[in-house]
Structure 1
Amino acid sequence: MERRSFVKGAGMAGVLAAGTAPAIVHAQANVRWRLASSFPKQLDTLFGAGESFAKKVSELSGGKFQISVHAPGELMPAFEVVDGVQKATVEIAHTAAYYFFGKDETFAIGASIPFGLNSRQMTAWTYQGNGLKLMREFYRNYNIINFPGGNTGAQMAGWYRKEIKSMADMKGLKFRIGGFAGRIIERMGGVPQNLPGGELYSALEKGTIDAAEWVGPYDDLKLGFYKVAQYYYYPGWWEGGPQVDFFINTKAYESLTPEYKAIIEAASAYTHVNMQAKYDVVNPGALKELAAAKTKLMRFPTDVMNQAFKESMALYSEISAKNPNWKKVYEDYAAFRKDQNLWFRFAESGFDEFMQKQRF
């Protein structure tokens, strides 16, 4: 049978089954992309996820599809990567969507909002609910198509130079907090600061800020925050399951062959799962190191949590009344969250609550 006729008749599934896929991949043109990351290069979790993605794309394409990964400042600042992708300055970025809530609050839902979904629920909403469909409709306005690119799992609430005993201690607190959650801190009397990760240690050390949140024990240990702030609070109620994404310029993506598009999808899914797996492996040991360094682990007071929840729900109602993009996505997200929490309160929470009380 003539090869061209075979491919046409068998379809892609038949080609794969016949073992001829490598020849097809090798027939593709060489592609070179640049990826702009929003994350510090020293973090092998977040920045490393972009590198892992690029490596997987290269492997799956037999080296034909190469993506160079660039830290903030190499091609553009951390918080300008959306503009870079939208304008096709770069083909792809790896970032947290909530950094860009100033363009439209709807960006935040694509990453994490206060008292939102946990990581498993976020993945479920994205892949099996309406999340990917709704967010892609929204991102289309920015010439972007998104692919999930990782999740950290629930985060810590950050490092504080002084103890937070009640809501009164939130007043006037100069707090570096990423993206959208700063709106809630502001409503609680704090003063949010939106700084890139690479600037946080210096700002804490100099007292330019009173507190800073980043991710969790492993990354925080690497960035050295315990040396300049002794109180380490939890939970990070604004990031119960923050997702990061690969943002790809729509024209760049559409120019790819179907096989290369499939490689992007497969590599992003691999990266998405692998990132949280890595965090779950490395965080316990890092937490032990921080405890040994005399870090004071503190839980947020109940009145702080209750006020944060109240202000969050009020803000979401206000935004829904004026932003149709937000309203459309948030209504679906909120309905999904309600059903998920109804389920998780039984088997998942019941099991976790028991196991975390045990001493092995």
Structure 2
Amino acid sequence: MAERVFVHLGLPKTATTYLQTILWASRPLLREQGVLLPGEERRDHLWASRVVREDPNLAGAPARHRTAWSRLTQELAGWPGTGLVSHEFFAAASAEQAQRMIADLAPAEVHLVVTAREPLGLFTASWQESLKNRHTTPIEEYALEVSPSPNAIWNWRTLDLRLVLQRWAPSLPASQVHVLPLDTRAPREEIWHRFGALLGLDTEAFDLSGSFPNESMGVVEAEVLRRVNAHLGDFQRAFDRGVYIRTFLADERLVPRRGERFWPPQERIEEQRRRGREWVDFVRAEGYDVRGDLANLLVPDELEPRREPSSVTDAEVADVAVSLVAQMLGDVRDLRTRVADEVSPSRRGWWRWRSRSGGR
């Protein structure tokens, strides 16, 4: 088994996509520097998290999904240096599942890595992420409770730093539990350098140009997506949600509109202020290894004025929706033109005629 294995749990919406993009694009360099990122593709770590969390839907999944965790551990068993497993959905595991995963990695010295973020920004970003996963819950009603299920991601089960650490950390020395508070005011490369330094990497040697931020929608755009989701009842598969709702609709068409930023209602803001103070007190009391400033987990006392999602009017929704229909009509035209150009020359004229005639 690897000498040490770092298990990066997330939390969700704490630069995990950014860090994982760098890591998966740099696997040969990671190996040169003594760090193994096991698996053939990034989704192997997602599927491994589902195995660890005993996702009941795995029963009908392909064997590649069901064997993901055993494949990762087999690779780690043959590696003499440092190993890394990274996916934010591990954060949802129960205490029993977490301890089994740590035991599966024996005799390696297991280290937990938790990237964290002040809870107001985390709350707002995770609500948007839930919309990109076809949810329709208004922000006022979002994450009111902690789910008992290790397969529920978008609630405080995975978002609350204290709850996640209470399930994952009890069997490990505090020195092997690393908390990296995200500084949202710093350049985004800063979290990479702290994360990589923890792994013992020469972080300056890595190409960061292929990484990207996971950006947010504006307040009207988020409300448009929330309402559209109510009409997408047959978009149940993860593939449909990822390709069509998240990527095609949200990330590629709504996010680029650069709409107005927003806050949740005042009572939810105060809830996150309390939560941030609890997190800081807990991490200090437990004596975990903190790489960064715990003050970055506190919600500021003063916030700039922003709208609430409940203030969005039907007229604003209609305006964005009309623009979206026009844009998507252009998308369909461009797609059909590309298809026509890809067919054989003898059929190209027929294809274009059929497109113009409506397929008659």
Q: TM-score, with normalisation over the residues of structure 2?
A: 0.33
Q: Which structure dedicates a bigger proportion of its chain to strand?
A: 1
